[in-house]
Chains A and B, each alone.
Chain A
Amino acid sequence: MSENQKKILQMLAEGKISVDEAQRLLSLTGADRDTRNESNNTASKSAPRYLHVVVEPKPGTAPEHRHGRVNVRVPFGLIRAGMKLATLIPPEAADKVNDAMKEKGMSFDMRHLKIEDIEELISALHDSEVNVDTDDETVRVYAE
C-alpha cells in the first residue's frame, strides 16, 4: 500500500472525506491496479491493444447520400488513462452529462462507471465485433 493510499484511508477514518470520494481517490492512485494486473495476467497474453472504428461508404452510393470515411484506432491504454481522468470530472458536470444523455434516451450514470467496467468491456470486445451495414455505408467496431 502506497503512502497516498494510506493518507486517503486516514482521511476517510477521520471523516474528512466520504466513502464515495475515498473510492474515487483510491481508484486514481492505483489501489485497484494490483488486482487488475492479476486478473489481466491470468486473462490472456494476447489481450487486444487497439480499438478500431471504421466507417466506409459503400461503392456506388449517390454523392448526395455519401458520408465521410472514418478510420480511428485508439489504444486501449489511452481509454484506461482517459477513464482515470474522467473520475476527476466534478459531480455537477457529471450531472449535466447524465442529463444530456438521458435526453438522448440513454439512462446512464457516468459517476458509477468504473475502470473495472471498462476492463470487462475490453475483454468482451476481444471476442466480438460490431458490424452495421446500411444502404449507404458500413460501420465496423472491433478490437485488435
Chain B
Amino acid sequence: MRWPPYLMQLKIRSPRHAFSIWLPLFIIGPIALIFLLALCLIALPFLLLSLLFTWRWYWGRYVVIGVPAFFQILHSLPGLKVDVEDGGQHIVVAFY
C-alpha cells in the first residue's frame, strides 16, 4: 500500500532571499482531511445537485472519477524531487 507523503521540503534561494522549510505533512494532512470532510458535508447537497445537472454533459462523471485520481496522485507523490538552479536562484521541492 502506498502512503501519502509525510514530509515536504521546500527550499528557495535567490541573491536577495533564502528560504528553507520542512513541512510535516503527517501533521498537516490529517487536519486538512478533517477540514475537507467538514467542507464536503456542508457542500454535499450543492455538490450532488451540480453533479445531477451536469451528468448529461459528463462533467459530473468527470468529478466522480477525478476524486479517486486526485488521491492516487497524492499517494504517488513520495519520491518526487525537483531541483532547479539557474544563476543565483535555486529551488528545491521534494516529497518524502
Contacts and interface: CB of A to CB of B under 8 A. Distances in A.
A71 B72 contact: no
Contacts of B82: 72
A68 B73 contact: no
Contact of A81 (B65, B76, B83, B87): B76
The B interface, classified by DSSP as helix, strand, loop or mixed, is: mixed
Interface in A65-93: 67-75, 77-78, 80-82, 84-85, 88, 90
A142 interface: no
B6 to A, nearest CB: 15
Contact of B79 (A75, A80, A85): A75
B70 A85 contact: yes
Interface residues of B, number: 23
B50 to A, nearest CB: 17
B1 to A, nearest CB: 12
Interface of B: 2, 58, 61-62, 65-66, 69-70, 72-73, 75-87
Interface of A: 21, 25, 28-29, 49-50, 67-75, 77-78, 80-82, 84-85, 88, 90
19 contacts: A25-B61, A28-B65, A29-B65, A68-B86, A69-B84, A69-B85, A70-B85, A72-B81, A72-B84, A73-B79, A75-B76, A75-B77, A75-B78, A82-B73, A84-B69, A84-B72, A85-B70, A88-B62, A88-B69
